[in-house]
Chains A and B, each alone.
Chain A
Amino acid sequence: MQPSKFLYFCEHGLQEIALGIMALVYTTRIIWFLGFKAGGERQAPTGSGDADTRKGILYSWANIVMPWAMESTRRKPFFYAQFVIFHLGVTAAIGLSFLIPYGHYLSDSREELQEGLLGGTAMVWFLQAIIGAAFVVAVVRIVRRVSDPYIRAISSPDDYFSLVLLTVWFLSAVLAAPNQFAEGEGYLLAFFILTAFFLIYVPFSKISHYLYYPFTRYYLGKSLGYRGVFPILRR
């Protein structure tokens, strides 16, 4: 059995259009961002003699996988674990959005794929487990954003909407993961329509932070590496 034409469009054409828009907006964003002149440092390096810009940049980029490096992550291992699960969930859900429509290139036919990669197998459970855990974390994050006065005070409608959007998207991904279109296309349609919306909305929302992340951490690492602050010494 083949998926309906509409589902096929949502899985392919719609995603390609959304990806195209996202790529265009991101490219424009990067050009816009690079239009700001980067500040430089004229002085000789400081620090205890081993100041190294490159080391600083690498340390800065790697910070995210070194929860011990920052007090904020060191003191809140549970929060850090949430962060890891949430982002693994995003990665898995994005992976799923490619795996369903294009996975059959890895096998001989769509049906085979269903039987193989996504046919109620360990792979589906694995993806469902990761994305499901991310869904739980997302719910916890919504509760936190609403109930913690510090977070509430800094939250904008975009923050709430982005979080709710991701939460619903995670849920749809969990439900769509088995790819059982023969038993009803609802979950798959929801997942792919949400994915397309997500792709178009992201560049205009705070979710685009990952686009800037390499830059902000690069410049911070460059400066603090040159000044001998990064890597941070703890004794």
Chain B
Amino acid sequence: MSEKKARSHKAEKVIERLGQKLSRQIAGSMVACVHCGMCTESCHYVLANPGDPTYAPAYKADKIRKLFKRHYDWTGRFFPWWVKAGSVYTDADLEELKDTVFGKCTNCRRCSLNCPMGVDLASFNRMARGLLVSVGVMPEGVAVVSKDQWEIGNQMGVLKEDYLETLEWMAEELQDELDDPQADIPVDKTDCEVVYSINPREVKYDPRSISDAAKIFHFAGENWTMPSEGWDMTNFGLFSGDDDLGGAVARRLYEKVSELRGKKLVISECGHGYRSTRCEGPNWAKQDVPFEMESSVLTMLRYVKEGRIKVDKTRNTTSVTFHDSCNNARSCGLTEEPRELLNLVCTDFREMTPNRAENYCCTGGGGAMSMSEYTPRRLKSGKVKADQLKATGAKVVVTSCHNCVDGLADVIRHYKLDMEVTQLVNLVANALVIPEKAAPSAEEKVAQEKVAALESAKPVALPLADLKFVVADDEPDQLAFLSTVFEDYGATVVTATNGDETLETVRREKPDLLTLDLEMPGLNVGDVFETLRKDPELEDLKVCIITGRPELRKLIYDRSVRVPEGYLDKPVTEETLLLTVRKILGIHEHET
């Protein structure tokens, strides 16, 4: 039957490209659904929205399936109404589809494992995302992140110099901490056993995980390196459904490892990064990878088992539970090693229910963290995760995924759970038994005692002394916490509680650092930031965003002015706060 209705150019392209995307697996999932509804309750969106069938996996699947039926299936072609076949005609139809495939599904694959027919909705939801992305229909965040990954080479737009500077900084921190100049973060070293790739989030928001990993490699005596380029093991192609992007990103990484003649690519803890690099990458890039690839979880576990590092689990006595990332557990079978490692480095590990491949999504999967327009929906669906977390009674949730760290942190904040999120690398680093240095000779001992006596005679210099900070936040607790920490370390603190006051205070005080909350009454915080950045008198002003609403980041980062020097998610610990502030201001640990 010929299509009578006119189609927009984009809709035309979507239909045209659908045919090119259909593999036998996808076609099978299109034809096999019997509308039994068995998958319904496996979806966290359904559980958090009782009575709303539009969140049911099969309902969402049918929004995509109807296209297949209308254009490829016999019955659907001739009697579309009989099997609910349909097409897309206008850009508004595509927008509606976008709302479903990006805004109502995190591609977590939980329903796929609960379908008796083997219908893999997550896979064809990804395909539908890819179709929409190919015609430019996608949430703004997806467009921004994809662009960064295409153009800058990593999904957070981290510039090469910032990346290298961070590595250098973390190496210096490590050397200071261990008092060992050999503790280094080598870059672009050739012929190493291990090439370590990371998530750009680590550079931007969590550099501690880089130094923790470096510490572990150092004590394991590993011959390792980090690449100066092609270091981002995450891949937004997995989320956007764009196989070309997926292939390009994976290729970049593989080529760099080959260029360095690395023997093994170790992927830091990240569910989607692991899945993309380790599993899907070679398929998207259409190339075989000539070296081994493994998750850093396996690497760390091996070091412990082989005795290359020694750990003392009594250093981690707080109760912990483990959250399985969907990509690790449901698409890569990485469920047992993290548990084995956890039991080696923690004293009180409590299983979450359900767990492993049956675990619920952190709510941040499928790139949901970058789609701020769906945040309320995402947080609502987080009720399932919050209940699951609460039931464990644990104080810390461990996860091997940076995306989950953000997703879980958001859920914890939103549902006011008394919990923290961390990763295995942090726990392993904390449990590391640092080998004692050889005892000093008698003369060395005397010399050391003299130096110590001289040092103790000096007045103690506080690391932030002589610095002035403006702390802008409308939450009294937060304001008090930040001010107290900074003042305890010697800084002079002036506070502001709304946009107008912030602008005025910063202009008046000309501080060394402004910590800026993104959600305050008064003048729009984005405008405040832009105005300050454009003020020639405030050229040296350093800004650190501290927010509980990561989705508001674009308020700042989308502006054509210099980006903030630092960013922190609330709740923030004293240690992270100081680390970040020292990094921004260039103050080394030994100076503190």
Contact = CB atoms under 8 A, between A and B. Distances in A.
B38 A72 contact: yes
Given A154-B35, A156-B84, A36 B24 contact: yes
Contacts of A148: 37
A219 to B, nearest CB: 5
A72 B111 CA distance: 9
Contacts of A46: 278-279, 332-334
A228 B356 CA distance: 12
Interface in B451-500: none
Contacts of A153: 53-54, 56, 59
B336 interface: yes
A149 B357 contact: no
Contacts of A47: 332-334
Give chain A's interface secondary structure class.
Answer: helix
A229 B33 CA distance: 22
Given A64-B116, A232-B356, A216 B40 contact: no
Contact of B24 (A37, A44, A73): A37
A229 B56 contact: no
Interface in B258-294: 278-283, 286-289, 292-293
A83 B115 CA distance: 13
B362 interface: no
B37 A212 contact: no
B283 A42 contact: yes
Interface string B318-357: 0000000000011111111100000000000001001111
Contact of A233 (B82, B114, B278, B336): B336
Contacts of B357: 229, 232-233
A154 B54 CA distance: 9
Interface in A83-104: 83
A3 B46 CA distance: 55
A51 B336 CA distance: 13
B333 A48 contact: yes
Nearest to B335: A233
Interface stretch (B117-125, B414-422, B574-582): B117-125
Contacts of A184: none
B41 interface: yes
Interface of B: 22-29, 31-35, 37-42, 46, 51, 53-54, 56, 58-59, 62, 74-75, 81-84, 112-120, 278-283, 286-289, 292-293, 329-337, 351, 354-358
B123 to A, nearest CB: 9
Interface in A181-235: 204-206, 208-209, 212-213, 215-217, 219-221, 223-224, 227-229, 232-235
A156 B35 contact: yes
A63 B116 contact: yes
B237 to A, nearest CB: 15
A96 B538 CA distance: 89
Contacts of B31: 33, 208-209, 212
A206 B332 contact: no
Contact of B59 (A73, A75, A154): A154
Contacts of A224: 333
B330 A38 contact: no
Contacts of B119: 216
Contact of B74 (A70, A204, A219, A232): A204
Given A71-B358, A213-B117, A219-B24, A43 B282 contact: yes
B113 A38 contact: no
Contacts of A60: 118
A71 B42 contact: yes
A42 B292 CA distance: 13
Contact of A212 (B28, B58, B62, B288): B28
Nearest to B119: A216
A16 interface: no
A143 interface: no
A47 to B, nearest CB: 3
A39 B117 contact: no
Given A154-B59, A206-B35, A234-B358, A39 B113 contact: no
Contact of A40 (B32, B283, B332): B283
A32 B281 CA distance: 29
Contact of B37 (A51, A73, A154, A219): A154
Contacts of B282: 42-43
23 contacts: A42-B283, A70-B38, A71-B358, A72-B39, A72-B114, A73-B116, A153-B53, A154-B58, A156-B35, A157-B83, A158-B83, A206-B34, A206-B83, A209-B33, A212-B117, A216-B28, A219-B25, A227-B332, A229-B357, A232-B358, A233-B336, A234-B358, A235-B355
Contact of A39 (B23, B38, B58, B329): B23
Contacts of B287: 42
A153 B74 CA distance: 23
B19 to A, nearest CB: 10
B24 A38 contact: yes
Nearest to A34: B24
A33 B27 contact: yes
A151 interface: yes
A150 interface: yes
Nearest to B39: A72
B334 A204 contact: no
Contacts of B358: 71, 232, 234
Contacts of B335: 48, 233
Given A36-B24, A37-B23, A155 B35 contact: yes
A134 to B, nearest CB: 15
B51 A229 contact: no
Contacts of B46: 150
Contact of A229 (B24, B34, B333): B333
Contacts of B42: 71-72
A153 B334 CA distance: 36
